[in-house]
Amino acid sequence: MADILCPHCGMPNASEQGVCSFCLKPLSGKSAEVYRPGEAPTKKTTAELESVLPEWLREAREKARLADAEKTAQETQAAAERPAPKKEEPPDFLAGLASLGKDDQDDEIPDWMKTAPPVSAPSIEKEKTFPRRQEIRWEGDGVTDEVGGLATTPAASENGDAMLPWMHSSEASSENEEVADWLKKAAAQEEERPVSPFPTGALQPPVTGELTDWLDQVSSESAEKPAAQEDGSLNDWFANLPRGETTPAAEETSEPFDGGEISLPNWMQRDEPAAAANEESPALPSWMGTFEPSAETKDESAAPDWMTRERPFAEPQQELDLPAWIGPFGETDESKSEASTPEWMPHTPFAEKEETGLPAWMDGTSDAKSEPTAPDWMTRDVPFSESQAKDESETPSWMGAFGESAAQTENTSEAAPTQSFELDSKFDLPSWLGSLESTEPAQGSIEPPPADWPAPSETKAAPPDWMDVFRDAAPAAETPASPEVPHAAAFVPAEMETPQDGQADDLFSSDMPDWLSNIAPSELKSAEAKEPTQQNIAPAELPSWVQAMRPVETALPSEPALTVEGPLEDRGPLAGLRGVLPLAGIIQPGKPKPQSIRLQADEAQQASAALLEQMLAAESEARPLRGGGAIASQSALRWAITAALLVIVVLSLATRLQITPLPTSLPAESASILPTLELLPEGAPVLMIFDYDPALAGELESAAVPLLDRFLASRRPRVTVLSTSPTGPALADKLFAHELKDLAYQSGTEYLNLGYLPGNNAGMLYFAEYPRKAIPSSAWDLPAAQDVTRLGDFAAILLFTDQSETARAWIEQTSLQRAGRPMIVIASAQAAPMILPYAQSGQIAGLAGGLHGGAIFTSSAAESPARAYWDAYQFAALFAAAMIVLGGLWNFFAGLRARRQGME
């Protein structure tokens, strides 16, 4: 059978289906989504988007599906392989659904069948997308007790489908595969795991006293109840169950509703006859088949003992406090008889009929139309009362106790308005119950119990705990919730499919048992009235500690606590407030005035500064030369000049060319040197100061040697050498050792070298005042300076220097202490111009500068450095002068030419 993929959820569905079994949306036609701009996006499932998924993801999903399918197949196979204990097959309560379905003119698949999940694709997605039908569990009972799925606490379904486990079909028909599968599963599961409904865990009902109190109470109270028909009260409604007929609804469903393999709780399970009955009616679940009033099912040995013997809860229940809706199920003494079926079962519409074995409402062949499709207990209009309970043979005995409490309000019950119990969208009943709707909802208007029924709290006996499940549907005001125990509804309406229109009413039609229709009908309506918008869960009763955790809204005071007088502030951060202290000009609101960091200067000052800046710039900028173009290579010219100069000098020196005459005229500053020195007495102490650098030693020596040769040779003074330069004494020794070696001055007697004089100007001054202290040495005792105690004791001072500053310092510091003694300065050519004023002012006796100064004191016949250097000096100087002149002329004529070109 080809599967059709639902365009909405992407789940496979049978081709015959028009509505998806999972999302209950049409499979064709309307499935095409039309996207309109502006609309809210529709929620998509992953299955719908599978085409756009990446390949690896699709493969993973496919593998997951296959794995799930394999797992399901294995489970199914394992369930099929295990022989189902026919003895334990419970009666198929819903076997009559097939008959009901036949009577229905509507050939569509009932909702409860549609919701049956396909066997081929039980997957995790189903669990996520579809709600879980949770089983109601007996509270306090740790064992799962699948009492038709109605009396157990919520439990997760293994398959993830929306069906109760006991609803799973054991056999799958060829036509309705889906229904059969799930029924099969349920039966297989129940077969595998027999669940004891009793706290002891035994499958057999315990002896009186072991069950919960309410059962005991029920049994005690039911002593006055009309006894159930032992002979077949249970069998009656069992007989009413359809046999071997597939109801139209069942045919249309994917899974036929045959109760052959449905696993029911043990107390509902029958022996083999029940299983056989189920086999005869493959459309019914197995558990429902066991309820067929076959002769075999009457075999007490096959039924659990507790179902056959005197039921402990059949004992009179005194002071039993039961909820009102349980009333119809009031138990009677007769129900405690050793009927093969529970007392209540005969009272249920699922009681077998002698004729068909199925309850009338489930037997399609019976006069379902004429007769109420639902058992009488489901179609009862009159509130439950004791008398009604007696009259109604279908009322199970265990439910009789509830009827007693209803009987107490018999008087008021009549006056109670008959409320047609309508299935509300809020009240979630399983969808499979929707098939029990009759075409004549008017026939089966289940009246809820009257509102003035005594509450459970009014009775002496407290209802059992499992009854609290049903009590949750009641409004919170009526029954205050227990803070300790969370309450939950018997069904989880939010996860269940809301029945379609019309099904709600049909659900609680006359064909439905009262115990189903009376599930908090009043509470439903009250809840609906209070929360009309809420579709699903009844308002829960929050415990007090949860209520205390609610966030408390902090309400701001609408008015200020204190009223302040004063002007209203209209600007600034305090706008809107009163009583604000005025600024009074202290603080200026707003942004402070920016202060300039620039120098504050007036226009006159700025003008003067600009003027000065321009003048300085004009002085420092280089004016462009007016003339010819610069020589391309300056380095070549430089090299040429250098080479020429070297050639001249070398040639002059090498050839000892002495063709240039020595200067004969003495300059004025040098004219008085020789006469001054000639006037000195012989052997007079003379101070010679050598303050020049070794770099210019050649020049100084060339300038000093001619003079010293003449002076030392003529007067033979005693020379005391001093220097303010560390290298001076060494130069003095070199001069006397090499240049004046011919004079043969003897160290110590004629020549005394005092060495280095530290302190620069201060040292000069100190020496000028205290020569022996300035240079403390034992050489002062030598004959060369034995009579010198002060500077004035020296006959003359000869200063040899290459720096004008040194000369100036000596001149300045010794001017007073010399006492008219002559000072002669032999200076370098570079310092002589600066020392000349001192000579012209008479502060010094004479000045000889450079090689020229030495040359004037050299005779042409004498061999002196000056003579040797003079020719080379002259030629080199001449060459330099020529270069200067030629360069000047070149620039001059080049400038003229450029100017002429510029003018042109």
Q: Which residues bind other proteins (CB under 8 A)?
A: 607, 611-612, 614-616, 618, 639, 642, 646, 649-650, 653-654, 695-696, 698-699, 701-702, 726-727, 755-756, 758, 760-762, 765, 776-777, 802, 808-809, 811-813, 815-816, 828-834, 837-838, 840-843, 849-852, 865, 868-869, 872-873, 876-877, 880
Smallest separation, CB 602 to other proteins (Å): 16
Smaller CB distance to other proteins: residue 179 or 827? 827
Smallest separation, CB 699 to other proteins (Å): 4
Instruction: From residue 658, give the alpha-carbon distance in Å to each of 647, 653, 661, 664, 706.
Output: 16, 9, 8, 15, 17
Smallest separation, CB 861 to other proteins (Å): 20
Smaller CB distance to other proteins: residue 430 or 822? 822
For residue 240, the cross-strand partners are 358
Smaller CB distance to other proteins: residue 207 or 737? 737
Distance CA 401, CA 312 (A): 13
Smaller CB distance to other proteins: residue 108 or 812? 812
Distance CA 83, CA 102 (A): 31
Smallest separation, CB 642 to other proteins (Å): 6
Smaller CB distance to other proteins: residue 156 or 651? 651
The residue with tokens 């409402």 is: 361
Smallest separation, CB 657 to other proteins (Å): 13
Smallest separation, CB 717 to other proteins (Å): 24
Smallest separation, CB 880 to other proteins (Å): 7
Smaller CB distance to other proteins: residue 611 or 882? 611
Q: 64 near 261, Cβ under 8 Å?
A: no
Smaller CB distance to other proteins: residue 675 or 726? 726
For residue 799, the cross-strand partners are 689, 825
Smallest separation, CB 860 to other proteins (Å): 18
Helix segments in 563-672, DSSP class H: 603-620, 634-655, 668-671
Token code pair at residue 576 = 């809107």
Alpha carbon 225 to chain centroid distance?
A: 70
| Amino acid found at 536 | N
Token code pair at residue 87 = 């003895």
Q: 705 near 859, Cβ under 8 Å?
A: no
Alpha carbon 295 to chain centroid distance?
A: 72
Token code pair at residue 358 = 């199925």
| Helix, strand, coil abundance in the chain, percent, nearest 5 | 40, 5, 55
For residue 13, the cross-strand partners are 4
What angle is formed at CA 643 by the lines to CA 637 and CA 648, rounded to 5 degrees?
A: 130
Distance CA 706, CA 859 (A): 8
Distance CA 152, CA 157 (A): 13
Smallest separation, CB 764 to other proteins (Å): 8
Helix segments in 228-285, DSSP class H: 233-239, 248-252, 272-280
Smallest separation, CB 904 to other proteins (Å): 28
Q: 165 near 146, Cβ under 8 Å?
A: yes
Smaller CB distance to other proteins: residue 197 or 865? 865
Instruction: From residue 850, give the alpha-carbon distance in Å to each of 702, 833, 856.
Output: 8, 11, 10
Smallest separation, CB 784 to other proteins (Å): 18
Smallest separation, CB 650 to other proteins (Å): 6
Distance CA 435, CA 99 (A): 11
Smaller CB distance to other proteins: residue 268 or 839? 839
Distance CA 29, CA 18 (A): 10
Token code pair at residue 127 = 């669990």
Smallest separation, CB 896 to other proteins (Å): 21
Smaller CB distance to other proteins: residue 605 or 714? 605
| Amino acid found at 383 | P
| Amino acid found at 887 | G
Smallest separation, CB 633 to other proteins (Å): 14
Smaller CB distance to other proteins: residue 67 or 612? 612
Smaller CB distance to other proteins: residue 336 or 852? 852
Q: 277 near 290, Cβ under 8 Å?
A: yes
Smaller CB distance to other proteins: residue 64 or 816? 816
Distance CA 464, CA 219 (A): 13
Smallest separation, CB 648 to other proteins (Å): 10
Smaller CB distance to other proteins: residue 59 or 781? 781
CB neighbour burial string for 290-325, b if at least 16 within 10 angstroms, e if fewer = bbbbbebbbbbebbbbbbbbbbbbbbbbeebbbbbb
Instruction: From residue 606, give the alpha-carbon distance in Å to each of 385, 602, 613.
Output: 118, 6, 11
Distance CA 459, CA 321 (A): 5
Q: Which helix (H) or strand (E) holds 801?
A: strand 796-801
Smallest separation, CB 599 to other proteins (Å): 21
Q: Which helix (H) or strand (E) holds 14?
A: strand 12-14
Smaller CB distance to other proteins: residue 583 or 612? 612
Q: What are phi and psi of 742, to 5 degrees?
A: -70, -25
Smaller CB distance to other proteins: residue 119 or 831? 831
Instruction: From residue 445, give the alpha-carbon distance in Å to each of 369, 474, 517, 524.
Output: 15, 20, 9, 16
Torsion, Cα of 423, 425, 429, 430 (10° steps) = 120
Closest alpha carbon to 341 in 267, 261, 422, 254 = 267
Distance CA 464, CA 773 (A): 133
Smaller CB distance to other proteins: residue 677 or 811? 811
**What counts of helices (H) and strands (E) characterise the chain?**
33, 9
For residue 689, the cross-strand partners are 722, 799
Smallest separation, CB 756 to other proteins (Å): 5
Smallest separation, CB 869 to other proteins (Å): 5
Smaller CB distance to other proteins: residue 32 or 654? 654
